[in-house]
């Protein structure tokens, strides 16, 4: 590769239309962008990302099992599949700490993602590999291993210095990364995570956006876009596919966030009328609300308000303490 290498792609009118619509939808999302106060929604989206990205790689665990693994519960299933979820959870937790323009961070995260799954975790591959579709057919033979370090370095240099819109640039990176296929295994999940890392460095909302779940729902077209881009010698088809995926993910998040707010507003409006900025016990709050069922109060009032970050515990390290009280933030 020449040091002045620019990945082959064209910016088309169709791409620009997608970019315009995505930016418009991101603007709408910013109006309800309170994910820091919605830990439950963040967790659900992160689980979707992990489950979907691994399912594309034939991980057999259901989303319920993935949730249990992340919660530290014992799950019956293939050990490697369980380990893959544990590793992916740790890798995704690093999203906010990643420098997406640093090859060393890529190697570090691959080491986390593939720990005890492949012997070369965190290292550039030493042998020849190919890209396989969901039917197990080879759709691309990766470049020789001796070319990989330089190709990666130049790709990272390009993505760091390119002035192209991040939506297009991150999609180009994703395709070129899969083309290089720098690792013995884990290239698919790393390519998807790294596009998210790039997008997150541009707009932090992408840290919690389960783009991978849309890819999984369109898995056949995902591989088709890679194949067509490779045969055409430029990543146009893959860029269009990813822009469509990103747009759908934003629309889904916009809907989910609005629905969440509608839900919690119904559940906690009454609670917020009686809770004060000084500590109050659950019993005191129930009396003010004229409620009898402690279970119903916790489920329908207290927990939604805690999840939304609207109230907090006085003893968060001891959630079941007899002395636990609650205050308005």
Task: Please identify, among 257, 291, 314, the residue that sits at the C-terminal boundary of a domain.
Answer: 257
pLDDT of 140 > 80? The answer is: no
The 3-state DSSP class for residue 327 equals strand
Stretch 307-315: mean pLDDT: 82
Stretch 45-53: mean pLDDT: 97
Are 109 and 176 in a shared domain? yes
Q: Which of 220, 216, 176, 217 lies closest to 194 in space, CA to CA?
A: 176
Are 207 and 309 in a shared domain? no
**8 A C-beta contact, residue 167 and residue 246:** yes
Stretch 116-138: mean pLDDT: 88
Which residues have C-beta within 8 Å of that of residue 122, sequence separation ≥ 6?
107, 108, 110, 111, 112, 114
Are 121 and 147 in a shared domain? yes
Q: What is the pLDDT of residue 2?
A: 47
Stretch 77-89: mean pLDDT: 98
pLDDT band, residue 63 (cuts 50/70/90): very high
Q: What is the pLDDT of residue 277?
A: 83
Stretch 253-276: mean pLDDT: 78
Q: What is the pLDDT of residue 26?
A: 92
What are the tens digits of pLDDT across the range 267-294?
A: 788 898 899 889 999 999 999 999 999 9
Which residues have C-beta within 8 Å of that of residue 23, sequence separation ≥ 6?
none
Are 206 and 310 in a shared domain? no
- Name the token pair of 86: 């544990």
Structural domains in the chain (count): 2
pLDDT of 265 > 70? The answer is: no
Are 281 and 169 in a shared domain? no
Stretch 35-49: mean pLDDT: 79
Stretch 36-44: mean pLDDT: 73
Is 8 part of a structural domain of the chain? Answer: no
What are the tens digits of pLDDT across the range 142-180?
A: 999 999 999 999 999 999 999 999 999 999 999 999 999
Is 284 part of a structural domain of the chain? Answer: yes
Adjacent-strand bridge partners of 312: 327
Range name among 146-155, 159-168, 255-264, 311-320 with the lowest pLDDT average:
255-264
Q: What is the pLDDT of residue 133?
A: 73
Which residues have C-beta within 8 Å of that of residue 10, sequence separation ≥ 6?
234, 236
Are 197 and 307 in a shared domain? no
CA distances from 142 to 40, 106, 182, 185, 312 (A): 40, 18, 8, 12, 52
Which one is predicted more confidently, 45 or 260?
45
For residue 280, what are the domain limits? 275-328
Are 247 and 281 in a shared domain? no
Are 200 and 324 in a shared domain? no
Stretch 79-108: mean pLDDT: 97
The share of the chain scoring above pLDDT 70, in percent, equals 93
Are 121 and 154 in a shared domain? yes
At 263, which helix (H) or strand (E)?
helix 236-274
Are 126 and 171 in a shared domain? yes
The b/e string for 177-197 (b: 16+ C-beta within 10 A; e otherwise) is: bbbbbbbbbbbbbbbbbbbbb
């Amino acid at each position: 590769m020449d040091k002045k290498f620019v990945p082959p792609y064209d910016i088309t009118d169709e791409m620009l239309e997608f970019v315009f619509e995505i930016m418009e939808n991101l603007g709408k999302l910013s109006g309800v962008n309170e994910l820091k106060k919605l830990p439950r929604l963040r967790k659900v989206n992160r689980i979707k990302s992990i489950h979907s990205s691994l399912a594309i790689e034939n991980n057999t665990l259901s989303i319920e099992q993935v949730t249990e693994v992340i919660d530290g519960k014992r799950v019956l299933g293939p050990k490697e599949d369980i380990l893959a979820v544990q590793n992916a959870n740790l890798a995704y937790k690093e999203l906010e700490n990643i420098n997406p323009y640093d090859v060393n961070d890529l190697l570090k995260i691959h080491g986390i993602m593939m720990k005890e799954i492949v012997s070369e975790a965190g290292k550039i591959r030493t042998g020849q590999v190919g890209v396989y579709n969901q039917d197990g057919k080879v759709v691309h033979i990766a470049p020789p291993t001796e070319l990989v370090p330089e190709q990666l370095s130049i790709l990272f240099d390009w993505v760091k210095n390119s002035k192209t819109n991040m939506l297009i640039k991150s999609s180009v990176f994703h395709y070129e990364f899969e083309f290089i296929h720098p690792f013995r295994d884990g290239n698919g999940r790393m390519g998807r995570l790294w596009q998210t890392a790039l997008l997150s460095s541009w707009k932090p909302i992408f840290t919690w956006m389960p783009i991978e779940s849309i890819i999984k729902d369109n898995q056949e077209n995902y591989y088709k876009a890679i194949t067509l881009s490779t045969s055409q010698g430029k990543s146009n088809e893959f860029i269009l596919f990813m822009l469509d995926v990103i747009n759908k993910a934003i629309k889904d998040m916009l809907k989910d966030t609005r629905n969440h707010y509608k839900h919690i507003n119904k559940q906690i409006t009454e609670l917020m009328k009686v809770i004060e900025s000084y500590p109050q016990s659950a019993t005191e709050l129930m009396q003010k609300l004229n409620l009898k069922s402690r279970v119903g109060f916790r489920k329908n009032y207290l927990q939604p308000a805690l999840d939304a970050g609207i109230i907090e515990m006085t003893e968060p390290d001891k959630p079941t303490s007899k002395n636990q009280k609650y205050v308005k933030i």
